[in-house]
Chain A
Amino acid sequence: MPDITLADTEGELYEVFHQKARGEHHVHVGAVHAASPELALVLAKEQYARRLACVNLWVVRARDIHASDYIDADMFDHATDKSYREAFGYKVVGKTRAQAQTRDRDD
């Protein structure tokens, strides 16, 4: 992966994850430069939680992230049609509705 550690005095890059309510997933919203994880959290609050509702923030040192390489992006391609894997292939809503109607009629 590319080296994203900064050589200047702005500290390191921290990726920021934002949680809008307890129980929800933390969602990646951006990054901040900071000299320590504590300072990264302090700065992330004003960058990413000043407008959105927020109950919790995570910061993760960007260099701790293991990433795949774009040169290998072809391994994500599907050589043959695999649309059967895609969730929208399932007509779950229609199916359950039909079952409910059948049940109503039988009752």
Chain B
Amino acid sequence: MTNLDAAVLKPLLFSLADDEVVIGHRNAEWTGHGPLLEADIAFSSMAQDELGHAQAYYALLHELGEPEPDRLAFLRSASAFRCAQLVELPRGDWAFSLIRQCLYDAAEGERLAALARSRFTPLAQAARKFAGEEKYHWLHARTWVEQLGRADDGRGRLQQALEQVYPYALGLFEPAEAEAELVALGVKPAEAELEQAWRERLTPVLAAAGLTLPAAAPIYGGRRGQHTPHLAALLNDMQLVFRSDPEAVW
């Protein structure tokens, strides 16, 4: 639909794109470091999927008058990013990255299923296009979590990671800027609704792995540009080459 105000849409698109580019970068850090070669390749490959999604969201922003996708990813500073703090945390150990991937992709799955019905048609089309890749990401996460949950050592490490990550994961559902308006316009579902669906998706998988969802208060701020120092450090790495010559042609 064409009568949607770009100013209302942009913060939403930035939050979607920035989540993907930052988690993509974090997961790509497993390249060459996974517990086995196959796991390493799968994780890195999913990181490429996330970067591809980020690029598509940045392209939508570009159509709404923002600079080109590369410039959005590589020339903005941390305070301009609208990602949840969950995605910027360092990759930690395998249990930490897996639990984060599990919580993140469960949210992503619910979000995309809902956005597939968005009144902002280009976003609905993107969401439908990403559904297959996200289906795999979720399968990957839950299969690993169920597998590692079978042994005491694995289960203990996963539970510990879950306790650390959970308040940040709740931050994925920090209401967007112009939330009420976007929901009323049918552009997106309410964050509270997504969070409920997310919990319902996660609970049986975590239970099967012998894990329990902690009770914790959400850590918000990411959607308003408040970040941990980890984001600036990550961007410093990620943007270094591009910033050294933004006009270079690759």
Contacts and interface: CB of A to CB of B under 8 A. Distances in A.
Interface of A: 10-11, 32-36, 38-39, 42-43, 45-47, 50
A36 B147 contact: yes
B147 A43 contact: no
Contact of B45 (A10, A38, A39, A50): A50
Interface in B146-187: 146-147
B147 A45 contact: no
Contact of B143 (A10, A32, A38, A50): A38
B42 A46 contact: yes
B39 A43 contact: yes
A45 B39 CA distance: 11
A33 B38 contact: yes
Contacts of A35: 147
Given A34-B38, A36-B147, A42-B144, 8 more contacts: A10-B36, A33-B38, A38-B147, A42-B136, A45-B136, A46-B41, A47-B38, A47-B42
Nearest to B45: A46
Given A46-B45, A50-B45, A33 B139 contact: no
Contacts of B144: 39, 42
Interface of B is mostly: helix
The 5 closest A-B pairs by CB, nearest first: A46-B42, A43-B38, A46-B45, A42-B143, A32-B38
A9 to B, nearest CB: 8
17 contacts: A11-B36, A33-B36, A34-B38, A35-B147, A36-B147, A38-B146, A42-B42, A42-B136, A42-B140, A43-B38, A43-B41, A45-B42, A45-B136, A46-B41, A47-B41, A47-B42, A50-B45
Nearest to A10: B36
Nearest to A43: B38
A43 B42 CA distance: 6
Interface in B212-245: none
Contacts of A33: 36-38
Contacts of B45: 46, 50
Nearest to B48: A50
A39 B41 contact: no
Nearest to A45: B136
Contacts of A45: 42, 136
Contacts of A43: 38-39, 41-42
A49 to B, nearest CB: 10
Interface in B114-154: 136, 139-140, 143-144, 146-147
Contacts of B36: 10-11, 33
A38 to B, nearest CB: 5
Nearest to A11: B36
A39 B143 contact: yes
A42 B136 CA distance: 8
Contacts of A34: 38
A1 B140 CA distance: 33
A64 to B, nearest CB: 19
A39 B136 contact: no
B46 to A, nearest CB: 8
A55 to B, nearest CB: 12
A36 B142 CA distance: 13
